[in-house]
């Protein structure tokens, strides 16, 4: 079958839209530098000056967490398993983000001056502990990046016929340009733009499907179509498209969620956002991001994914009169085909645009994160401990460009050796999950020792791999090959064993080799130095006041409450209850389920579009006034005067706190 769109769409998006985006982002960075005094220095490049508000943290979390897989796999799960598919994808991914909030809060509490979370390992465990964690962290960064490009390039190739090699190199091109020039702050702004576009397309998709389409047009009609299609093409792994009775779906979702713990807790991109966040904004930013992200896979799967299934017997279906082939399923095409059935060719193009947005925005998060670890954990830690701000910015630029090219190469290699997104998603956690235990214990448990880390984490990986392959042997009729290692039970066991055995090993080996005195986590605070180009605003953000500590403690309790509801309440109890009940949703309950989804989508879109604009209104006003009227000099003087009069006391507090820290800190941290 020919691709649904012509190659012109593929090259047009990758080159034309990509270039427009790069120019827009570079222009915004220049405006901020010229009119809002946000000149690019090393701290701004890697940490966005550590004062980003909750609105932008939320939109950038959504942007970084909306992978091509989020859009394509959630739709495929909906197509294959029915209503529970996209719901399980959404809640599983949200759990990972809400759990990360605990770690994010401790990063702000104990390491407000960090540029990367790896730096805390250097301080606690020296070079060997640092290098071990750095390997895990960099591997996560590399695998996630290739997963993004692999998913994006395969999606573009399948939808447009564009060559997969061209897609692998052209898709990240614009991101390399604006990330290298604008740093983390530019990625926050581009993340917001990307997220807005994704929500707008999603709203069109959902409201057309459930409100205006002549083919479906209401939740009740969708329910009837799904009931009828069950008679023609019964669900393969479950009871029906309208029930939650699929053991395979639950195991698959839990496997991806547990496997994906390392892709949030161990991915430097997410900790970098915690570092960039203003202390008061951590909980709200990540929680709002997680809850607003939830509806993206849920809504897309429930509209395009279910429509693809429900309309299979209608001539508008792309594959009419057949089901989708296994090649279509492997290429995760249900979302694009569903959009095409509902909205015609423009629907498929809108799907491709969403895909482009998800690849580029998530890629920028990975690029800037990798540049931070190479700059601070390799270049400054081991090659140039006294690097100036200028040298650090140059190292970051080189790293962004080099890593962008490397990602393209890796995606091509994976394409040629036949590695799929699904395979990488399942394998990632088995290999890397022990880093979750390592980073959590490093920031929460003073009793963790270097020996515990050095032995426990690698042993966790080995145990996970052995259990994964052993379970494949048991569950796949004694055949262990490229296909059978994807057996759901085997990947589930591999992921869970890797996650928990790593944690247990580190604890046990630490208890076997206790230190005379446990580590004082507050020592992390003053032990990481900033470069010579730090400005006043950034120095202010390095200091954790008593009020900040109280706010962070309060946020931990809120986080506990949110996780109890989302993880235990929804993901475990509600899912198991619906599975145990095993019935089909009635027309009324299906309608209620979809109406909740539609309301949630609108609220999420409004929050993510408007809240960052509201929080940034003063900066927007400053830039606007500077462009149209008052001279830049006037504005700058006014800005500096305001800062110095209102913050004189704060400045003194900062100086005093720095002196206190110097006295308190007797840790030698060469290179940091």
Residue with tokens 């569903």: 338
Q: Residue 67 or residue 585: which is nearer to ligand NC(N)=O going by CB?
A: 67
Q: Residue 69 or residue 607: which is nearer to ligand NC(N)=O going by CB?
A: 69
Beta bridge pairs of residue 277 = 52
CB of 296 to ligand NC(N)=O, least distance (A): 9
Q: Please provide the DSSP assignment of 540-572 as one string.
A: HHH---HHHHHHHHHHHHHHHHHHIIIIIIIII
Contact between 69 and ligand NC(N)=O by CB under 6 A: the answer reads: yes
**Contacts of residue 583, Cβ cutoff 8 Å, sequence gap at least 6:** 243, 245
Q: Residue 65 or residue 370: which is nearer to ligand NC(N)=O going by CB?
A: 65
CB of 226 to ligand NC(N)=O, least distance (A): 24
CB of 256 to ligand NC(N)=O, least distance (A): 7
The Cα 276–Cα 213 span in angstroms is 43
CB of 624 to ligand NC(N)=O, least distance (A): 35
Contact between 472 and ligand NC(N)=O by CB under 6 A: the answer reads: no
The Cα 352–Cα 349 span in angstroms is 5
Binding mask 300-319 vs ligand NC(N)=O (x if CB under 6 A, - otherwise)? --------------------
CB of 260 to ligand NC(N)=O, least distance (A): 5
Beta bridge pairs of residue 584 = 243
CB of 28 to ligand NC(N)=O, least distance (A): 26
Instruction: Count the Cβ atoms, other than its own, within 10 Å of residue 180.
Output: 21
- Which of 260, 285, 351, 494 contacts ligand NC(N)=O by CB under 6 A? 260
Residue 584: phi, psi to the nearest 5?
-85, 145
CB of 375 to ligand NC(N)=O, least distance (A): 26
Q: Residue 219 or residue 301: which is nearer to ligand NC(N)=O going by CB?
A: 301
Q: Residue 72 or residue 350: which is nearer to ligand NC(N)=O going by CB?
A: 72
CB of 543 to ligand NC(N)=O, least distance (A): 34
Q: Residue 94 or residue 415: which is nearer to ligand NC(N)=O going by CB?
A: 94
Contact between 528 and ligand NC(N)=O by CB under 6 A: the answer reads: no
CB of 227 to ligand NC(N)=O, least distance (A): 29
Q: Residue 55 or residue 260: which is nearer to ligand NC(N)=O going by CB?
A: 260
What number of chain residues touch ligand NC(N)=O (CB under 6 A)? 6
Q: Residue 65 or residue 519: which is nearer to ligand NC(N)=O going by CB?
A: 65
Distance of CA 175 to the CA centre of its chain: 16
Question: How many Cα atoms sit within 13 Å of 89 on the Cβ side?
Answer: 31
User: By CB under 6 A, which span of 67-75, 270-278, 337-345, 467-475 interacts with ligand NC(N)=O?
Assistant: 67-75
CB of 297 to ligand NC(N)=O, least distance (A): 7
CB of 374 to ligand NC(N)=O, least distance (A): 24
Report CA dihedral (606, 611, 616, 621) to the nearest 10 degrees. Answer: 50
CA distances from 477 to 181, 247, 472, 512 (A): 53, 20, 8, 40
Q: Residue 365 or residue 381: which is nearer to ligand NC(N)=O going by CB?
A: 365
Binding mask 96-125 vs ligand NC(N)=O (x if CB under 6 A, - otherwise)? ------------------------------
Query: Which residues from 46-65 bind ligand NC(N)=O, rule CB under 6 A?
Result: 65
- Which of 70, 213, 240, 575 contacts ligand NC(N)=O by CB under 6 A? 70
Counting DSSP H helices and E strands in the chain, the numbers are: 30, 0
CB of 442 to ligand NC(N)=O, least distance (A): 24
- Which of 9, 11, 13, 67 contacts ligand NC(N)=O by CB under 6 A? 67
Q: Please provide the DSSP assignment of 16-59 as one string.
A: IIHHHHHHHHHHHHHHHHHHS-----HHHHHHGGG-B-HHHHHH
Helix then strand then coil, % of the chain, to nearest 5: 80, 0, 20
Binding mask 10-49 vs ligand NC(N)=O (x if CB under 6 A, - otherwise)? ----------------------------------------
Q: Rg for the chain (alpha carbons), in Å?
A: 25
> How long a stretch of residues is the chain?
672
Q: Residue 260 or residue 612: which is nearer to ligand NC(N)=O going by CB?
A: 260
CB of 263 to ligand NC(N)=O, least distance (A): 7
The Cα 209–Cα 206 span in angstroms is 5
Q: Residue 294 or residue 585: which is nearer to ligand NC(N)=O going by CB?
A: 294
Contact between 332 and ligand NC(N)=O by CB under 6 A: the answer reads: no
Q: Please provide the DSSP assignment of 346-394 as one string.
A: HHHHHHHHHHHHHHHHHHHHHHHHHHHIIIIIIIIIII-TT--HHHHHH
The residue nearest ligand NC(N)=O at its CB is: 70
Residue 637's Cβ-count burial label (10 Å; 0-12, 13-18, 19+) is exposed
The Cα 25–Cα 160 span in angstroms is 27
CB of 174 to ligand NC(N)=O, least distance (A): 21
The Cα 265–Cα 65 span in angstroms is 12
Q: Residue 132 or residue 296: which is nearer to ligand NC(N)=O going by CB?
A: 296
CB of 166 to ligand NC(N)=O, least distance (A): 25
The Cα 183–Cα 615 span in angstroms is 21
Q: Residue 88 or residue 503: which is nearer to ligand NC(N)=O going by CB?
A: 88
Contact between 93 and ligand NC(N)=O by CB under 6 A: the answer reads: yes
Extract the tokens encoding 492. Answer: 């589930």
The Cα 505–Cα 176 span in angstroms is 39
The Cα 252–Cα 222 span in angstroms is 25
Q: Residue 69 or residue 318: which is nearer to ligand NC(N)=O going by CB?
A: 69
Q: 530 and 542 in contact (C-beta within 8 Å)?
A: yes
Q: Residue 100 or residue 125: which is nearer to ligand NC(N)=O going by CB?
A: 100
User: Packing angle between helix 68-81 and helix 118-160, nearest 10 degrees?
Assistant: 60
Sign of CA dihedral 441, 444, 445, 450: positive
The Cα 436–Cα 267 span in angstroms is 10
User: By CB under 6 A, which span of 66-74, 128-136, 240-248, 513-521 interacts with ligand NC(N)=O?
Assistant: 66-74
CA distances from 579 to 312, 497, 535, 545 (A): 26, 24, 56, 48
Interaction site with ligand NC(N)=O (CB under 6 A)? 65, 67, 69-70, 93, 260
């Amino acid at each position: 079958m020919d691709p649904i769109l012509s190659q012109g769409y593929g090259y047009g998006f990758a080159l034309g839209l990509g270039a427009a985006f790069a120019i827009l982002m570079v222009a915004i960075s220049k405006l901020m530098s010229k009119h809002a005094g946000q000149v690019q220095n090393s701290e701004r490049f890697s940490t966005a000056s550590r004062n980003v508000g909750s609105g932008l943290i939320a939109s950038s979390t959504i942007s970084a967490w909306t992978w091509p897989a989020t859009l394509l796999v959630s739709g495929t799960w909906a197509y294959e398993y029915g209503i529970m598919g996209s719901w399980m994808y959404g809640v599983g991914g949200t759990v990972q983000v809400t759990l990360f909030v605990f770690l994010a809060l401790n990063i702000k509490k104990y390491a407000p001056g960090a540029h990367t979370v790896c730096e805390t390992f250097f301080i606690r465990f020296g070079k060997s502990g640092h290098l071990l964690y750095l390997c895990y962290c960099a591997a996560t960064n590399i695998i996630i990046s290739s997963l993004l490009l692999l998913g994006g390039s395969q999606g573009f190739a399948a939808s447009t016929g564009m060559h997969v090699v061209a897609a692998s190199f052209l898709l990240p091109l614009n991101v390399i340009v604006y990330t290298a020039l604008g740093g983390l702050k530019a990625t926050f702004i581009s993340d917001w733009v990307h997220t807005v576009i994704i929500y707008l397309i999603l709203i069109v998709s959902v409201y057309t499907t459930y409100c205006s389409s002549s083919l479906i047009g209401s939740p009740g009609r969708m329910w009837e179509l799904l009931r009828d299609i069950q008679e023609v093409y019964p669900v393969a792994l479950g009871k029906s498209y309208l029930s939650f009775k699929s053991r395979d779906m639950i195991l698959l979702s839990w496997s991806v969620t547990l496997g994906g713990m390392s892709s949030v807790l161990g991915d430097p991109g997410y900790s970098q956002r915690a570092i960039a966040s203003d202390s008061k904004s951590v909980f709200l930013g990540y929680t709002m991001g997680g809850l607003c992200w939830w509806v993206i896979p849920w809504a897309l799967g429930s509209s395009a994914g279910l429509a693809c299934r429900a309309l299979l017997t209608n001539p508008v279906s792309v594959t009419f009169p057949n089901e989708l082939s296994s090649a279509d399923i492997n290429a995760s095409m249900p979302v694009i085909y569903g959009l095409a059935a509902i909205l015609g060719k423009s629907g498929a193009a809108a799907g491709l645009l969403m895909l482009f947005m998800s690849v580029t925005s998530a890629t920028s998060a990975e690029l800037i994160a990798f540049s931070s670890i190479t700059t601070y954990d390799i270049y400054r830690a081991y090659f140039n401990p006294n690097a100036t701000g200028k040298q650090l910015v140059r190292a970051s630029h080189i790293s962004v460009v080099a890593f962008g090219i490397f990602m393209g190469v890796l995606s091509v290699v994976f394409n040629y050796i036949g590695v799929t997104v699904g395979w990488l998603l399942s394998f990632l956690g088995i290999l890397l999950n022990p880093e979750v235990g390592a980073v959590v214990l490093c920031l929460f448990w003073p009793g963790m020792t270097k020996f515990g880390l050095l032995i426990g984490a690698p042993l966790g990986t080995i145990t996970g791999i052995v259990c994964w392959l052993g379970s494949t042997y048991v569950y796949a009729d004694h055949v262990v090959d490229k296909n059978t290692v994807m057996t759901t039970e085997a990947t589930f066991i591999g992921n869970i064993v890797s996650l928990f055995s790593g944690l247990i090993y580190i604890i046990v080996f630490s208890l076997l080799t206790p230190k005379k005195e446990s580590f004082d986590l507050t020592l992390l605070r003053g032990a990481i130095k900033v470069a010579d180009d730090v400005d006043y605003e950034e120095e202010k953000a390095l200091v954790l006041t008593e009020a900040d500590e109280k706010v962070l403690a309060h946020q931990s309790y809120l986080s506990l409450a949110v996780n109890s509801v989302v993880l235990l309440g929804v993901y475990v109890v509600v899912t198991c209850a619906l599975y145990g009940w095993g019935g089909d949703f009635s027309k009324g309950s299906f309608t209620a389920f979809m109406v909740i989804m539609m309301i949630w989508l609108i609220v999420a879109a409004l929050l993510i579009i408007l809240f960052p604009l509201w929080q940034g209104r003063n900066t927007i006003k400053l830039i606007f006034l500077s462009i149209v009227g008052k001279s830049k000099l006037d504005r700058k003087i006014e800005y500096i005067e305001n800062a110095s009069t209102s913050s004189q006391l704060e400045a003194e507090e900062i100086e005093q706190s720095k002196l206190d820290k110097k006295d308190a800190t007797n840790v030698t941290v060469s290179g940091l």
